[in-house]
Amino acid sequence: MIEAELKARVHAPEAVMRQLDERATARVEVYQDTYYDRADGSLEKADQELRVRTVNGADGLRTVLTFKEAAVDEESGSKPEHETLVADSEAVHGIVQGLGYVPVIAFQKRCRNYEFEAHGRQMLATLVRVPEIDGTFLEVETLADEDDVPAALADVRAVLAELGIDAEDLTRETYTGAVAAQRGVEKPQTARHSRA
């Protein structure tokens, strides 16, 4: 499946949060994300991503291993995504590194996740704050088959508009790049084309 997703900067986060609270109950979680690549940067060169995410929420800790293929929609950067829960965070980091992947960048995301139905689709809207980056972001996504991506993105845009997000608020800026810039290091190779 493809994660049809758009990301925007939010200028009135409290107002957007109130609207989302009317649609669904928030799931407040903190993500610790580590992005990996091969030493030669070949994942980035292929527009692919490998991430280990540990989520701390009301239900405790869980760790998710994610691989994203190259984008199928250049404007949004939407990618086919393969994701699975793993039982042991330390073990999966060890496995990934044992296979020759190296950590490129790691950072924290503070998220309010909302799951709801809109326009006949299951949507996930996430308000995001990254402590190292100024501002609040909103990600809205739905899963789609490749031939359904344009229609899915149109429905995502409609949800964003309903929440008061204008087209000019959309961004392709990456968290990885913004965190690297804030740290004063060269932009990491991984996830250049993703909003993750």
pLDDT at residue 160 is higher than 60: yes
- Domain positions in the chain: 2-183
Q: What's the CA gap between 91 and 111, in Å, rounded? A: 25
CATH superfamily of 2-183: Hypothetical Protein Pfu-838710-001 (2.40.320.10)
Burial of 188 (0-12, 13-18, 19+ CB in 10 A): buried
Q: Which one is predicted more confidently, 12 or 193? A: 12
Residue 185 confidence class, pLDDT cut points 50, 70, 90: confident
Q: What pLDDT score was predicted for residue 74?
A: 87
Contacts of 161 (CB under 8 A, 6+ apart): none
**What pLDDT is recorded for position 7?**
97
CA distance 22 to 54: 28
Q: Which two tokens stand for residue 46?
A: 């292929």
What pLDDT is stored for residue 75 in this prediction?
86
Average of per-residue pLDDT across 136-158? 97
- Residues 37 and 52: beta-carbon distance below 8 Å: no
* Residue 191 near residue 67 (C-beta atoms within 8 A): no
Percentage of the chain beyond pLDDT 70 is: 94
Rounded to an integer, what distance in angstroms lies between the CA atom of residue 71 and that of residue 36?
Answer: 18
Residue type, 87: A
Can you give the pLDDT at residue 78?
A: 92
The number of CA neighbours under 13 Å toward the Cβ of 141 is 19
pLDDT for the residue 192: 39
Q: What is the pTM (predicted TM-score) of this model?
A: 0.91
Q: In this predicted model, what pLDDT tens digit does every residue of 59-75 receive, in sequence order?
A: 999 999 999 999 999 88
pLDDT, tens only, 111-140: 999 999 999 999 999 999 999 999 999 999
Helix (H, G, I), strand (E, B) or coil at 2: strand
Q: Above 70 in pLDDT, residue 186? A: no
